[in-house]
Amino acid sequence: MANCDAGCCQGGVWVDVLHRDVILEHAAVIARHMDPEQEHNPARWFEGEIADDSDFPSGKAVGTEVTDSGCVFLNAHRRCVLHAVDDVENLGVRLKPFFCRVFPVTICNGVLTLDEPIAGERPQCCSETPGGGQTVLELCEEECGTALGEQGVAELRMLARDGHE
């Protein structure tokens, strides 16, 4: 995943509506980190339609707008501006959405799982390597830690050692 090509962000991303509001509260600092060609108007960062989704803390999700290069928050180098802001600003809150931070790990109908690729659409950087020598827990340790916390990862490791799937 060190070779991320932002393929997972091509169609925009889903964000909890409460997290959208946090992002919008920090619009000025986000805009300062955007490329000149990116959309700087926060009113154009999110779709208008809100979806019911119990996998999001508020039960509601909204999509980011999509430009020719994918999610509105992707810069010319195909890097997430929200991630960049998180790396350099001390805002006291993470701006990069939860499901973006844990990808390709995801939660679907309340179950922690790997994102199901659509045939031929999974970016190489997040694809399985048949016969690869690492488990998901090894390869996605940071993502699993974000999703489950340290204690949750320890429990998952114990289950894996005991042969549970």
As a three-state string, the secondary structure of 6-61 is CHHHCCCCEEEHHHHHHHHHCHHHHHHHCCCCCCCCHHHCEEEEEEECCCCCCCEE
Report the C-alpha gap between 65 and 88 in whole angstroms. Answer: 24
Q: Which of 67, 52, 40 has the alpha carbon at shortest distance from 16?
A: 52
Least confident of 45-54, 69-78, 130-139, 150-159: 130-139
Residue 28 lies inside a defined structural domain of this protein: yes
**Confidence band (pLDDT; 50, 70, 90) for 165?**
low
The pLDDT of residue 62: 97
Q: Are 49 and 62 in contact (CB under 8 A)?
A: yes
Please state, in angstroms and as integers, the Cα–Cα distance from residue 9 to each residue in 12, 72, 73, 160, following that order.
Answer: 5, 9, 9, 30
Residue 32 lies inside a defined structural domain of this protein: yes
The pLDDT of residue 28: 97
Residue 12 lies inside a defined structural domain of this protein: yes
The pLDDT of residue 164: 64
Report the C-alpha gap between 29 and 47 in whole angstroms. Answer: 21
Report the C-alpha gap between 120 and 103 in whole angstroms. Answer: 17
Of all residues in the chain, the percent with pLDDT exceeding 90 is 45
Domain residues for 15? 7-99
Residue 146 lies inside a defined structural domain of this protein: no
**Confidence band (pLDDT; 50, 70, 90) for 118?**
low
Residue 38 lies inside a defined structural domain of this protein: yes
End-to-end Cα distance, the chain:
23
Residue 42 lies inside a defined structural domain of this protein: yes
Residue 64 lies inside a defined structural domain of this protein: yes
Of all residues in the chain, the percent with pLDDT exceeding 70 is 84
- Count structural domains, the chain: 1
pLDDT at residue 44 greater than cutoff 90: yes
Spatial CB neighbours of 69, under 8 Å, sequence gap ≥ 6 = 76, 78
Residue 132 lies inside a defined structural domain of this protein: no
